[in-house]
Amino acid sequence: MATELQRAAPRLHYICSECGAEAPKWQGRCPACAAWNSLSEDVVRLTARRPGPPTVAATTTPMEAVMAAPARVQATGSFEVDRVLGGGIVPGSVVLLGGDPGIGKSTIALQVSHSCGDEVSPALYCTGEESLEQLALRARRLGCTGARVRLLVESDVDTVIATIEAERPSLVVVDSVQTLRDAATPGPPGSVSQVRAAVLRMSEIAKATGVPVLLVGHVTKEGAIAGPRTLEHLVDVVLYLEGERLGEHRMLRGIKNRFGATGEVGLLTMERDGMRDLAAPSRGMLDAASLGASGSVLTITCDGLRPMAVEVQALAVASPFEFPRRTASGFELNRLHLMLAVLAKRAGIAVSKLDVFVNVAGGIRLADPGTDLAVVLAIAGSAGDRAISRHCAVIGELGLGGEVRRVSRTEVRLAEAAAVGMEAVILPESFRGAVPDGLRVHRVRNLIEAVALLG
Ligand SMILES: Nc1ncnc2c1ncn2[C@@H]1O[C@H](COP(=O)(O)OP(=O)(O)OP(=O)(O)O)[C@@H](O)[C@H]1O
Ligand SMILES: [Mg+2]
């Protein structure tokens, strides 16, 4: 029989970065979720049952006792960020902010901490990857100077926690969670077990003190926040900052939110002096000069809950190569290949000898199938030098048979089309809902009918 000491000894086991399942030995494939190559080393310490009196039952709390005061949320200084958070930052909550390198995570984190802190109760900005000088440069550029934020260059999680307990800041930013190191957990900083342990520790201190924590997380090549997917279960809110790095627009997407609607999208612009709310979202993205030209089509995408007018541009030109090039910026390349196949087969437009380039203006990524028809009409328009009126928006999903399908939230999209000054809209024939006054409607059943509307 194992002694108490043996039972308390660390034991090596493996943990899946996709689903968090544990396995006693390494395997190429996770036995729980069947993901390949996702198991990595972790160490658990089996705690021996403590000697002493038998465990006493806990005291439970009646629901009425906690009903009195609703949690007071802290505004972040940005309407768009607040919107995604569900009103603001909830005390004691843990928010994970992920995004590609250089997208603006530290910028947003510093601006939020500057808004949440004040002279009496400053925010704490804790970094493990930049020096005080680098932080000062950014703070000066963003105008986030003064006594509202205190800085700490530290990666030891115990020191960070002790500092939070001593200073009781109004908000803590940890930039980034991959740099935190928990001395009690084996493995290098950034490893699955280290990141998980650090997030758990930060979550405990947030709940114990009521100090909200904003964790910045790097994103892997596959697009997930580096570290186990289970990290997302350990925090209250998961936000992703997206956009083309060289473009100025950014989308802050709520992936998970325990305090508000999931799927909310905040629209921001990255300027020299920091992240700003995009004032009138759709209008800010429309380049009036190109609309109305062949290859340029306006569509209304509905990303999450929010409609947004976006310009899709396509260029289809004779290719000098045996294998024509197809590139897409802001649109999935595989979907572009599919759209080209449908265009060739169902509308008889020869694209096999054309280089095709698709670009979504403003650095927006279109993931919404309701924008398919606009992309296809932009390509068909460019290939045939035919244009759609600059006052006409296009909404519709495209099926493999060339049929134009109804899309979700069409009414909301139509209202947005009217709001940005559109006079007409091309939409699926099957849509039966109300159309705003003053908006002419061209109903189309299939791609051939839609292409016929090109001027
Ligand atoms: N002087 C400047 N003027 C304008 N924009 C700048 C300037 N310096 C930096 N930027 C912008 O800020 C971006 C970097 O922002 P930030 O450091 O917040 O990104 P990050 O997501 O934290 O990056 P990382 O993943 O490297 O930590 C740059 O990509 C650039 O667009
Ligand atoms: Mg950064």
Q: Between the CA of residue 307 and those of 122, 255, 264, 266, 395, what are the distances in Å?
A: 37, 18, 11, 11, 12
176 or 206, which is more confident? 206
Q: Which amino acid is at 79?
A: F
Does the Cβ of 141 fall within 6 Å of ligand 1? Answer: yes
Q: Check the CA dihedral 143-145-148-149 and report its sign.
A: positive
The residue-averaged pLDDT of 323-343 equals: 94
**CATH value at residue 331:** 3.30.230.10
Asked, for residue 66, whether it belongs to a domain, the answer is no
Asked, for residue 333, whether it belongs to a domain, the answer is yes
**Is the pLDDT assigned to residue 230 strictly greater than 80?**
no
Residues 405-437 as b or e (16 or more Cβ within 10 Å = b): bbbebbeebbbbbbebebebbbbbbebeeebee
What is the chain's alpha carbon radius of gyration, rounded to the nearest angstrom?
Answer: 26
Does the Cβ of 140 fall within 6 Å of ligand 1? Answer: no
Instruction: State the distance from the centre of ligand 1 to the C-alpha of 363, rounded, in angstroms.
Output: 16
Asked, for residue 382, whether it belongs to a domain, the answer is yes
Asked, for residue 64, whether it belongs to a domain, the answer is no
Closest ligand to C-alpha of residue 140 is 1
Q: Which residues pair with residue 410 across a beta bridge? A: none
14-18, 113-117, 174-178, range with the lowest pLDDT = 14-18
Both 164 and 265 in one domain: the answer is yes
**Is the pLDDT assigned to residue 21 strictly greater than 80?**
no
H/E stretch holding 251: strand 249-257
Please list, in sequence order, all residues whose beta carbon lies within 8 angstroms of the beta carbon of residue 370, skipping any fewer than 6 positions away. Answer: 299, 300, 301, 302, 395, 396, 397, 407, 408, 413
Both 23 and 96 in one domain: the answer is no
Does the Cβ of 254 fall within 6 Å of ligand 1? Answer: no
Domain that holds residue 385: 283-452
Both 364 and 326 in one domain: the answer is yes
Cβ atoms of 297 and 333 within 8 Å: the answer is: no
Cβ atoms of 369 and 332 within 8 Å: the answer is: no
Does the Cβ of 283 fall within 6 Å of ligand 1? Answer: no
**Is the pLDDT assigned to residue 285 strictly greater than 50?**
yes
**Is the pLDDT assigned to residue 417 strictly greater than 60?**
yes
Cβ atoms of 406 and 430 within 8 Å: the answer is: yes
Instruction: State the distance from the centre of ligand 1 to the C-alpha of 392, rounded, in angstroms.
Output: 37
Domain boundary among 248, 263, 279: 279
Instruction: State the distance from the centre of ligand 1 to the C-alpha of 105, rounded, in angstroms.
Output: 8
Asked, for residue 296, whether it belongs to a domain, the answer is yes
Is the backbone peptide bond immediately before 176 cis, with ω within 30 degrees of 0? Answer: yes
Q: Give the Cα separation of 63 and 162 in Å (integer).
A: 32
Asked, for residue 50, whether it belongs to a domain, the answer is no
Ligand 1 pocket test, candidate residues 240, 272, 275, 276, most atoms within 8 A of CB: 272
- 3-class SS of residue 30: coil
Two tokens, residue 342:
């449908």
Q: How many helices (H) and strands (E) does the chain have?
A: 12, 21
Ligand 1 pocket test, candidate residues 100, 103, 127, 178, most atoms within 8 A of CB: 103
Two tokens, residue 7:
């039972």
Ligand 1 pocket test, candidate residues 97, 100, 105, 240, most atoms within 8 A of CB: 105
Both 161 and 131 in one domain: the answer is yes
Asked, for residue 223, whether it belongs to a domain, the answer is yes
Q: How does strand 392-394 pair with strand 296-303?
A: parallel
Instruction: State the distance from the centre of ligand 1 to the C-alpha of 104, rounded, in angstroms.
Output: 5
Does the Cβ of 105 fall within 6 Å of ligand 1? Answer: yes
The pLDDT value recorded for residue 283 is 63
Q: List, for residues 153-171, the tens digit of each pLDDT value.
A: 999 999 999 999 999 999 9
Ligand 1 pocket test, candidate residues 107, 113, 215, most atoms within 8 A of CB: 107
Both 362 and 434 in one domain: the answer is yes
**CATH value at residue 179:** 3.40.50.300
Both 336 and 273 in one domain: the answer is no
Give 174's pLDDT tier (boundaries 50, 70, 90): very high
Nearest CA to ligand 1 atom 15: 104
| Total domains in the fold of the chain | 3
Q: Which residues pair with residue 328 across a beta bridge? A: 358
**Is the pLDDT assigned to residue 394 strictly greater than 70?**
yes
Cβ atoms of 323 and 282 within 8 Å: the answer is: no
Cβ neighbour number for residue 36 with a 10 Å cutoff: 10
Candidates 204, 176, 179; CA nearest to 108 is 176
Does the Cβ of 217 fall within 6 Å of ligand 1? Answer: no
Does the Cβ of 106 fall within 6 Å of ligand 1? Answer: yes
Share of the chain above pLDDT 90, in %: 57
The pLDDT value recorded for residue 2 is 46
The pLDDT value recorded for residue 46 is 47
Backbone φ, ψ for residue 375 (5° rounding): -65, -45
Both 299 and 435 in one domain: the answer is yes
Instruction: State the distance from the centre of ligand 2 to the C-alpha of 159, rounded, in angstroms.
Output: 21
